[in-house]
Amino acid sequence: MNPLSFLPFIVLIGAMFLMTRSAKKKQAAAVQMRNEMQPGTGVRTIGGMYATVKEVHHDTVLLEVAPGVHAVYAKNAVGAVLDDEEYNRIVHGDDDDVLDIDGAVVPDDASSLTEADTDEDISDDAKIDLGKKAEADDAESADAESDEKSEGRTSGEAEAK
């Protein structure tokens, strides 16, 4: 038997090995992250909820989802353990560190992108008129007259050109 005929199978087995190896590494990192959780740290669940760890048990974790509101979750439901700065920025809205490259604070809305602060500052020329123009009315009336003429013909008559 030719050893070259086994090459596709060897390549396939090698690719499967590499894929499972990287998946196992990711899974081991996630397990390690969940095992290193301590009471008082902020977490994000796989459902996207942010909470504070109160107690850590073997397979479960007690999370404070709101002040005075506690819930028991499986450790597998914790998607990420966040550092204190990131957790406070997301949950409490501490956006003091959101700065532009030049040191200017980046606004939360688009109000600074417009030049005029109020509607009174915008001139009448800049406003868009959404009403119909007189020319459009004349064109519509001419179309209506030609439609009325064509409706007067019988089905056997042809239009002369």
Tens digits of pLDDT across the chain (161 residues): 787 888 888 899 999 988 888 889 988 888 888 888 899 999 999 999 999 999 999 889 999 999 999 999 999 899 889 888 888 888 888 765 554 455 666 666 776 666 555 555 555 556 676 777 666 566 666 666 666 555 555 555 555 55
What is the model's pLDDT at position 88? 86
Looking at residue 112, its pLDDT comes to 67
Q: Is the pTM of this model over 0.85?
A: no
Three-class SS state of 29: helix
Strand pairing report for 78-82 and 42-45: antiparallel
The pLDDT of residue 33 is: 86
Q: Please tell me the predicted confidence (pLDDT) of residue 104.
A: 62
- String of DSSP letters for 96-143: TT-B-TTSPBPPSSSGGGSS-SSGGGS-TTTS---SPPHHHHHHHHHH
pLDDT at 100: 47
Which H or E element spans position 3? none
